[in-house]
Amino acid sequence: MARALLGALACSAALAFPAATMAARSHVGLEPGADPAVVARAVERATGTHVERLAPFRALTVDAEPAAVRAVPGVAWVERARERRLAFAPTDPLAPRQWYAIANRSYDAWATPPPLAPVRVAVIDSGVDLMHPELVRRIVLAKSFVGASAQDTRGHGTIVAGIIAAELDNETGIAGLAPAAELVVAKVVSPAGTIAVEAEARAIKWAVDNGARVINISLGGLRDPRRPSRDTYSRLEEEAIRYAVKHGAVVVAAVGNADQAPRTPWPFASYPAALPHVLGVSALTRSGGSPGFSNRDAVYNDIAAPGEDILSTFPRSITANRPGCQEQGYTPCATDEFRPPDGTSFSAPQATAVAANLLGARPLLRPEQVTAIIERTAADATASSGCKSCALGRDPLTGWGALDATAAIGALEGAVPPRDAHEPNDNAGEDAYPLYFAPGEKARFVRATVDFWDDQDDVYAIYLRRGERLYTSLVPAVPSNVVLALWRPGTAQVTGLAPPNRRVRISTRSGRRQRLAWTGVQEGWHYLQARLTAPSHPPVAYRLSIVRTR
């Protein structure tokens, strides 16, 4: 089984968001018809502090917490005072032509180049121009899984690597989107242009074993659940993804291009984007629309980023074949296939860069936290933003919406999504997380999360002897559609086409708390499944209690 590359389709200073809040200072809006002087006196009485009028605006400012003035008569709204600052503007001469960086607000979160911790980012692709001036100091490891060296002789991988990690603010060429990224280069494209899943799987494991925290996979295989005969699902590929997530790596993949599908547009994301725990990235046009080549998917298309006319690095040995082209080493001098680069292959590394920046700012974040932040801070793609076919909210064309790098970094100022240290635990057998009981221990407690789009199922293995009683209780942090099910020993899978006769109990209780009880009739590992059956905006955190007794 093989995979295909997905990308070959033949800044001035500005005010930045978000910014730090000012201590105990609020802006106060006035109701229509309210007398500013009367409201100002009432606010002064409520807070004991002087109030300033912000004429001609119908607003006041006061050194007090918002809660202190919300109930004052005549007040329409209250917000905490915030600051703005100038955004960092790269000095790289081609940066103004990187329209995708502007669209993503890639640098707006910082006034100067950010002090981020180094983050190893794997590029599983066609290799990289190993001596490119923009990349040579950013590459820490490189290996070919298809023979010869990891040198890129096609160009695809060098484009991807440049988007992520080209030298920033060096007054040369373009500006990479992840200033602290260290590249781990894995070449998996054979001289014939094919990509064996075995090579991909070996490359993922090698990258993870060498410290990669983010893995970019801009390649894919056809997914067609309607015709299994041409569906290219690979259990080996899924095992490799599980290995990466288990060891703390964020996996980002392109959802695929319809030129490699039976028709355009294609309604299903490619593999491995269509696997659990993978951040699937689709493409956007310059005008904010969803291009016809970008695969759609109601579940596995998580986010969208610019995917046409992408300016990046290109192997100098190839651009030298066009000696009359001035921008040697960059895509304006690329082969016809990549001039200009279009495709979801080049959307994915933009999200990869944001993931690397989040980990550079907060190295202890887990993969599910990083992906949840990126998804939930996206700017909803709608007709008003240029996507005429996009519905409000999450949709099959753009997922959660357009990538917003500054909003993602800004989310770190607040409460981050909950951790789930037991992932991946999405099925029975070896995929389940085993819950061991110490001698004399009768109860175990688990805190975890489920996500309808990225992680619908959590499965725990619990050993029961004949006659032992099992009592379980699950309480979600917010009202949601989570159910419990218990499966017999020997069950191979609890999702998809799992035989229902293997299931011995399912919770049917209405309300928030779910309960399930069972007396063991067969000794062995039973599988307790928690499934989120309906969409929710944030991932759903829950507390699971398991009691085992005679």
- State residue 55's pLDDT score: 85
Compute the distance between CA of residue 299 and CA of residue 512 in angstroms, rounded to an integer: 25
Residue carrying the six token digits 């109030």? 51
How crowded is residue 198: how many other Cβ atoms within 10 Å of its Cβ?
A: 16
Peptide bond into 56 cis (omega under 30): yes
**Residues 347-366: tens digit of each pLDDT:** 999 999 999 999 999 999 99
Q: SS3 for 547?
A: strand
Cβ neighbors of 430 (< 8 A, separation 6 or more) are none
Q: What tens digit of pLDDT does each residue of 460-490 get?
A: 999 999 999 999 999 999 889 999 999 999 9
Q: Decide: helix, strand or coil at residue 544.
A: strand
**Rounded to 5°, angle at Cα 324 from 320 and 326:** 80
Q: What is the DSSP string of 458-511?
A: EEEEEEE-TT-EEEEEEEESSS--EEEEEE-TT---SSTT--GGGEEEE----S
Output the pLDDT for position 341. 95
CATH architecture of 429-549: Sandwich (2.60)
CA angle 43, 47, 48 (to 5 degrees): 105
The pLDDT of residue 512 is 83
CA 473 – CA 42 distance, rounded (Å): 51
CA atoms 334, 317, 190, 128: torsion sign = negative
Low-confidence winner among 20-24, 231-235, 344-348, 469-473 (lowest mean pLDDT): 20-24
Local confidence band at 110 (pLDDT 50, 70, 90 cut-offs): confident
Percent of the chain with pLDDT over 70: 96
Point out the least confidently predicted range of 11-20, 43-52, 98-107, 538-547.
11-20
Query: How do residues 369-418 score in pLDDT, each as one tens digit?
Result: 999 999 999 999 999 899 999 999 999 999 999 999 999 999 999 999 99
Tell me the domain boundaries of the chain: 21-82, 88-411, 429-549
pLDDT in tens, 237-291: 999 999 999 999 999 999 999 887 888 889 999 999 999 999 999 999 999 999 9
Closest Cα partner for 424 from 207, 278, 253, 245? 245
**How far apart (Å, rounded) are the C-alpha atoms in residues 282 and 220?**
13
Q: Of the CATH numbers 3.30.70, 3.40.50, 3.30.1340, 3.40.720, which one belongs to the domain with range 21-82?
A: 3.30.70
Q: Could you give the CA distance from residue 532 to residue 484 in angstroms, rounded to a whole number?
A: 9
> Reduced to 3 states, what is the DSSP secondary structure of residue 541?
strand
CA–CA gap between residue 425 and residue 473 (Å, rounded): 18
DSSP labels for 70-102? TTSTTEEEEEEEE---BPP----TTGGG-HHHH
pLDDT digits (tens, 9 = 90+) for 424-465: 999 999 999 999 999 989 999 999 999 999 999 999 999 999
pLDDT tens-digit profile of 283-295?
999 999 999 999 9
Say how far apart CA 89 and CA 91 lie, in whole Å.
Answer: 6
pLDDT-above-90 percentage for the chain: 83
- Sorted by sequence, the CB contacts under 8 Å of residue 468 that are 6+ apart come out as 519, 520, 548, 549, 550
Residue 4, pLDDT above cutoff 70: yes
* Residue-level pLDDT at 408: 97
The residues pairing with 403 across neighbouring beta strands, listed in sequence order, are none
Q: Which CATH superfamily is domain 88-411 in?
A: Peptidase S8/S53 domain (3.40.50.200)
From residue 160, alpha-carbon distances to 71, 280, 527 in Å are: 53, 16, 41
Q: Is the pLDDT of residue 177 over 90?
A: yes
One-letter amino acid identity for 402?
A
Q: What stretch of H or E contains 407?
A: helix 405-410
pLDDT band at 11 (very low <50, low <70, confident <90, very high): very low
> What is the rounded average pLDDT for all residues in the chain?
92
Backbone angles phi, psi at 395, to 5 degrees: -145, 165
What pLDDT, on a 0 to 100 scale, did the predictor assign at position 7?
Answer: 65
> If residue 43 lies in a helix (H) or strand (E), which one and from where to where?
helix 36-47
Tokens of 502: 């293997």
Average pLDDT for 129-142: 98
Question: What does the alpha-carbon distance between residue 402 and residue 385 come to, in Å, rounded to a whole number?
Answer: 9
Look at residues 339, 327, 406 and name the one whose alpha carbon lies nearest to residue 93.
327
Q: What is the predicted pLDDT for the residue at 17?
A: 34
Partnered with residue 283 across adjacent β-strands are 305
84-98, 159-173, 350-364, 393-407, range with the lowest pLDDT: 84-98
Q: What is the pTM of this model?
A: 0.84
